[in-house]
């Protein structure tokens, strides 16, 4: 409902996408965050002038899936090859002094493969089902084993894997901090990985916490076909 709150949660290092769906107190305890401090920061954000942000919980499933592709999938299609080049180049140049970069490059190669496969499945299977539900007057007869919950379960599991990889990138790079002697390419790689993490958090949040629950609710609301 309030997308601008994401900035506060990011600043406190709290994962609201894969690690969402828990009480604020639990998230604070897990993240080592003072709940009162976080609530104060959220209140300050709420008092600030609101951005002209779209409340995607009110959009049609058609508009929401189109937005996710345009805003996040297209970004990944451009960024994944670029970051593959950067992680490999930096690992080659600095891996002897910073062996953790070799793991970054290897892990990113796996992350890219997984995300490209993930997006393909969403765009050819899950998102068309969401659009079909949006326009349907009765529940579709055969939707991936009888319910859209099946492909959603697969996508959520893959989101968890992606979240683990993003957390590992942050850990391996010491919070995307440039070490002494790091070159400009190294700096660009770190900045790009940090931006990737932020975009992925927004991306997965829109799917896990908005699109998927709404698609499930829409399916449940439709009468069965005669």
pLDDT (tens digit per residue) in 44-66: 877 665 555 678 888 999 999 99
Total-model pTM: 0.79
User: Which of the pair, 2 or 182, is modelled with greater confidence?
Assistant: 182
Return the minimum-mean-pLDDT range out of 44-58, 60-74, 123-137. Answer: 44-58
Give residue for tokens 């999938």. Answer: 73
Q: How far apart are CA 91 and CA 105, in angstroms?
A: 7
Q: How many helices (H) and strands (E) does the chain have?
A: 10, 0
DSSP state of 59: S
- What are the helix (H) ranges across 34-99? 35-47, 61-68, 74-94
Give residue for tokens 């896990």. Answer: 208
Q: What is the pLDDT of residue 22?
A: 83
Q: What is the pLDDT of residue 125?
A: 93
**For the chain, what percent of residues have pLDDT higher than 70?**
91
User: Which of the pair, 76 or 49, is modelled with greater confidence?
Assistant: 76
pLDDT at 20 over 90: no
Q: How far apart are CA 25 and CA 152, in angstroms?
A: 27
Q: How far apart are CA 208 and CA 108, in angstroms?
A: 23
How confident is the model over 145-202, as pLDDT tens digits? 789 999 999 999 999 999 999 999 999 999 999 998 888 889 999 999 999 999 999 9
Backbone angles phi, psi at 224, to 5 degrees: -70, 145
pLDDT at 116 over 80: yes
Identify whether the C-beta of residue 26 lies closer than 8 Å to the C-beta of residue 213: no
Q: What is the largest CA-CA distance in the chain?
A: 69
**For the chain, what percent of residues have pLDDT higher than 90?**
63
Sign of the torsion formed by the C-alpha atoms of 155, 156, 159 and 160 = negative
Q: What integer best gives the mean pLDDT of the chain? A: 89
**CB-hemisphere CA count at 13 Å for 207?**
30
Q: What is the pLDDT of residue 19?
A: 62
User: Which of the pair, 213 or 43, is modelled with greater confidence?
Assistant: 213
**CB-hemisphere CA count at 13 Å for 150?**
8
């Amino acid at each position: 409902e309030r997308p601008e709150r994401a900035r506060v949660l990011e600043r406190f290092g709290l994962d609201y996408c894969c690690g969402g769906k828990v009480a604020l107190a639990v998230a604070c305890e897990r993240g080592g965050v003072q709940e009162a401090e976080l609530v104060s920061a959220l209140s300050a954000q709420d008092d600030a002038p609101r951005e002209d942000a779209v409340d995607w919980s009110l959009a049609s499933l058609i508009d929401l899936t189109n937005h996710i592709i345009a805003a996040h999938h297209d970004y990944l299609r451009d960024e994944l090859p670029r970051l593959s080049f950067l992680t490999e180049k930096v690992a080659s140049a600095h891996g002897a002094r910073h062996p953790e970069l070799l793991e970054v490059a290897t892990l990113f190669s796996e992350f890219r493969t997984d995300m490209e496969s993930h997006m393909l499945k969403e765009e050819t299977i899950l998102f068309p089902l969401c659009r079909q539900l949006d326009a349907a007057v009765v529940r579709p007869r055969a939707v991936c084993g009888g319910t859209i919950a099946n492909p959603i379960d697969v996508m959520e599991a893959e989101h968890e894997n992606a979240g683990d990889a993003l957390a590992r990138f942050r850990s391996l790079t010491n919070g995307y901090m440039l070490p002494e002697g790091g070159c400009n390419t190294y700096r660009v790689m770190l900045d790009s990985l940090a931006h990737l993490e932020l975009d992925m958090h927004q991306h997965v949040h829109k799917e896990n916490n908005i699109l998927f629950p709404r698609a499930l609710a829409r399916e449940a609301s439709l009468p069965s076909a005669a």
